[in-house]
A and B are shown apart, each in its own frame.
Chain A
């Protein structure tokens, strides 16, 4: 158990809908990262938050947004869902510093039908 908690584990929804994925980082970690894993794109970085502020953005679609709250949990919002958004979404957390280990949660498997 990495200490990173993601909910829900599975999500099935329809095209055009909006969903929210939730992540609680390890105790004491201020950084939260979101990644998408799919068969065709592999593991792709989406976004990084540190203590409530956005630090870095990857190839995140405009339909996707994220935030980190004062209690450090983070939410990834996916809207106007398309079939191609079906993937495994991972959250990771780390301490601050050079080369910290990112600890990954169990992931949320999103299926868009």
Chain B
């Protein structure tokens, strides 16, 4: 059974600092997604990574995928308050379903 684990689950950062969220998964997959969820809101797609070594960047967020290590990272550069949210990674599986990690609740404080 495919399992997806994120760490840390809670992250309190100061504005301007850098940090990385890790996403490990248990079986082979080359479809990895990152989503953002604000409290009480829907999920917003951030990145789709479809091959080993894929790297994508949008603003202060950069995601990468290492399929051999079964690891994806979401790197946050010079965090700002607007990045406070819960971040989910998800692995694409047979039939198109997504298996989600537990989510990382990020809080950026001034």
Q: Is the CB of B33 within 8 A of A58?
A: no
Q: Give the A-B contact count at a CB cut-off of 8 A.
A: 59
Counting from the closest, the 6 A-B pairs by CB-CB distance are A56-B95, A43-B100, A45-B97, A104-B43, A99-B31, A99-B50
Please give the distance in Å from B43's CB to the nearest CB on chain A: 4
CA gap between A106 and B37 in the complex, in Å: 11
Against B, the Cβ 8 Å flags (1 = close, 0 = not) of A71-113 are 0000000000000000000101010001111111111000000
CA gap between A94 and B98 in the complex, in Å: 12
Against A, the Cβ 8 Å flags (1 = close, 0 = not) of B36-63 are 0000011111001010000000000000
Given known pairs A31-B96, A56-B96, A58-B97, the reply for A102 and B50 (CB within 8 Å) is: no
Central interface residue in B35, B48, B50, B97, by most chain A CB within 10 Å: B97
Q: Which residue of A lies closest to B99 (CB)?
A: A45
Interface size on B, residues (CB 8 A): 23
Q: Is the CB of A98 within 8 A of B31?
A: yes
In the complex, what residues of B have CB within 8 A of residue A92's CB?
Answer: 43
A2 CB-CB contact with B under 8 Å: yes
Give me 20 other A-B pairs in contact (C-beta within 8 A), A55-B96, A99-B30 excluded. Answer: A2-B44, A33-B97, A35-B98, A42-B102, A43-B100, A43-B103, A45-B99, A50-B96, A55-B95, A57-B95, A58-B97, A94-B96, A98-B31, A99-B31, A101-B33, A102-B33, A102-B98, A104-B44, A105-B42, A106-B41
CA gap between A94 and B50 in the complex, in Å: 16
Q: Is the CB of A101 within 8 A of B45?
A: yes
Q: Is the CB of A33 within 8 A of B43?
A: no
